[in-house]
Structure 1
Amino acid sequence: MRRTADVSVDLSLVLYPPPHSTRHWRVSSSPAKLLPKNRLLSESEWRAIGVQQSRGWVHYAIHRPEPHIMLFRRPLNTQQ
């Protein structure tokens, strides 16, 4: 995967459901074409396409109707 700046935040921080914080990222069309359709990305992979966020976030789900939206979560007690 190639590093690009075409990633934008769609919805920042949402506390749902406890005990996790979740974050949704909308990926622009160029890097979205690079996203695998059948598996989650490792931290090094999502960072390589330009997603920037603090440590502790995990790509936990693929939203099948809109695969360009990446869903992340981390435990609520994680330090910033």
Structure 2
Amino acid sequence: MSLEHIYYSEKYCDNEYEYRHVVLPKELAKLVPKTKLLTEEEWRALGVQQSPGWIHYMIHSPEPHILLFRRRLNHQQLMASHVP
């Protein structure tokens, strides 16, 4: 993994959510607040690219450069049912 690029993990899941983690390079990690979760607008402004519905749900204090995301397993079905 190059330290100059954003790394995206494979997705993994439990019975309710799918998860992924995103590893930021050091320069971007300096911009991440250490005491609050990021909104979608904030993590997209950092350059993180992923489909809609992902929520930054946890801060892992020992490794603040790793963003932890999750979304409900049925998210795509819910989005499709709201299309006019």
Under a length normalisation based on structure 1, what TM-score does the superposition of the two structures give? 0.85
Cα separation, 2, equivalents of 1:66 and 1:24: 11
State whether structure 2 residue 34 is matched by structure 1 residue 37: yes
Matches within 5 A, 1:41-52: 41-52=38-49
**Cα RMSD between the aligned structures?**
1.6
Aligned to 1:72: 69
Q: Which structure dedicates a bigger proportion of its chain to strand?
A: 1
Runs of 4+ in 1 over 6 A off after TM superposition: none
Aligned to 1:7: 6
Post-superposition offset of 1:31: 0.5
SS of aligned partner of 2:68: strand
Letter in 1 for 2:12: V
Structure 1 residues not aligned, in runs of 5+ = none
Post-superposition offset of 1:8: 1.9
* Aligned residues of 1:40 and 1:62 also touching (Cα < 8 A): yes
Aligned-pair identity in percent equals 51
Q: Which structure dedicates a bigger proportion of its chain to helix?
A: 2
Q: How many residues align?
A: 74
SS of aligned partner of 1:12: coil
Largest Rg, 1 or 2: 2
